[in-house]
Amino acid sequence: MPSSASPSRRRSVAAVASASGLLSLAFTGLNAPAHAAGYGTPTISLSAGYLSGAVGATGDPDVTVTVGQSGADASALTVAVSASSTSSVAAAGDVSVTGTGTARRLTVSARARGYTDLTVKVTGLGGKTATKTLHYAASAAVQHSTDTRYLTGSSDASAAVPVGGGYLVVADDESNTLRLYNGSLSGAPVRTWDFSDDLGVDKEIDIESAARVGNTIYWAGSLGNNKDGEYKSDRNRIFTTVVNGSGADTALTPGGSYRKLRDDLVAWDKANGDRFGFDAGTQDGQVPKQIDGFNVEGLEFAPGSATTAYLGFRAPLVPPVDGGKALIVPVTNIDKVVTGSKAVFGTPIQLDLGGLAIRDIRKNAANQYLIVAGSWAADDNSDPYALYSWDGVAGHAPVKRADLPTSDPGGWEAVVDVPDLTVPGARAQVITDDGSADLYGDGTEAKDLPHDEWKKSRATWFTVTP
């Protein structure tokens, strides 16, 4: 039915309705977030997509979470883990995120060994969110956990040299990469160097020992055959790096190298009645980790010398029977060897280490030595390990300082530095090679893990004086 209202009346009603609508919209706007349409989707990034921790660890590695949102101050954003794929390893509530700005620090307190994917979520203004996934792996609790740190990025630590300020350069017997770590913290290397091209090698040198004199670090391969009993020329190598700077600012540059130290040792032993069986121990098919094998794992300078270095043998024992003694062969011209001269050897030294062999040897400026003693056979913790002190003098007996724990993964492989052994309560840091360990309970050896961030070696301080 047509409206009977006049045109002017209809215009008046429309005007009132229009005004009411505007007023209603105005009131509705008071309840809406200010500039909601102007907020962008938050951004989130992780300093690492993969992280390794340990049950009961102190100072586990952390991840930096960087967040932002256009139109909003970073302090208005919240960051938390919203989900865990395996809460028995680490639940959302086991993750701590600290900080209020653009960069937040995320740490995880593991419950059990294994893997979990953690969903890291940033919530911005306007209710907008974004997520990233952190792939987390936790190893089991270990003895001396309070005094333990984890050096990530590699699982096969084989030698270590201090460079000041608590920093150390660590070698890996599965690659030719040298890594600089802060030894007081768990986490990734600060810097890395690979001198393969400088040395003209394309296979692993099997670096097993190191020693520093002045600003020069000497690094030596095992000199032995590989695990299949095959000769690999790149393992027959000793080389040097020059240290520039110290601590976190340490830089390494290549020095000299020598490719025939094994040959010289074999020839010297044969010329002296084949006392140690070096020729037989280096034959094709001879596995190096045998009681009568050939395998060098220690290198350190003789007391007060910058030119005579001690080569410490993992194999053979002397004689090559249970209870045999550990062998040291001095190289009296090590400074000239790395410039191409044939090695000259001094009188060999035999040490009673309770039937164990030399896995590393290190001294301090006062010529106090610590020896990591372990089995000629063990790649892991299946046989005893111990720390011995020594004064570096042939004919003087070493003294047992401590038994190293053997129920945790990895084999004790390197002592970082030697404290003053006359000071009560002095401590030394010792590092494991965890390459053959199943760290996360899935049957995968650490050296074969798909992500370097999950690979790690364990560094633990031990008291070595009463």
Q: In the predicted model, what is the mean pLDDT of residues 301-311? A: 98
Q: In the predicted model, what is the mean pLDDT of residues 294-305? A: 98
Assess whether pLDDT exceeds 50 at residue 250: yes
Q: What is the pLDDT of residues 389-422, one digit of tens each?
A: 999 999 999 999 999 999 999 999 999 999 999 9
Assess whether pLDDT exceeds 90 at residue 380: no
User: In CATH terms, is domain 145-463 a member of 2.120.10?
Assistant: yes
Distance of CA 189 to the CA centre of its chain: 7
Nearest by Cα to 372 from 387, 382, 384: 387
Residues whose CB is less than 8 angstroms from the CB of residue 410 and which lie 6 or more positions away in sequence, other chains included: 380, 381, 432, 433, 434, 437, 457, 458
Q: What is the pLDDT of residues 180-238, one digit of tens each?
A: 999 999 999 999 999 999 999 999 999 999 999 999 999 999 999 999 999 999 999 99
- In this structure, the number of other CB atoms found within 10 A of the CB of residue 334 comes to 29
Which pLDDT score is estimated for 37? 59
What confidence category does residue 80 fall into, taking pLDDT thresholds of 50, 70 and 90?
A: very high
What confidence category does residue 5 fall into, taking pLDDT thresholds of 50, 70 and 90?
A: very low
Q: Where in the chain is the domain with CATH 2.60.40.1080?
A: 38-139
- Full-model pTM: 0.90
Per the omega criterion (within 30 degrees of 0), is the bond before 319 cis?
Answer: yes
Q: Mean pLDDT lowest for which of 19-23, 70-74, 447-451, 456-460?
A: 19-23
What confidence category does residue 33 fall into, taking pLDDT thresholds of 50, 70 and 90?
A: very low
What confidence category does residue 17 fall into, taking pLDDT thresholds of 50, 70 and 90?
A: very low
Assess whether pLDDT exceeds 60 at residue 72: yes
Regarding predicted confidence, which is higher, 381 or 358?
358
Q: Where in the chain is the domain with CATH 2.120.10?
A: 145-463
The domain made up of 38-139 has a fold known as Immunoglobulin-like (2.60.40)
In the block, residue with structure tokens 């044939």: 342
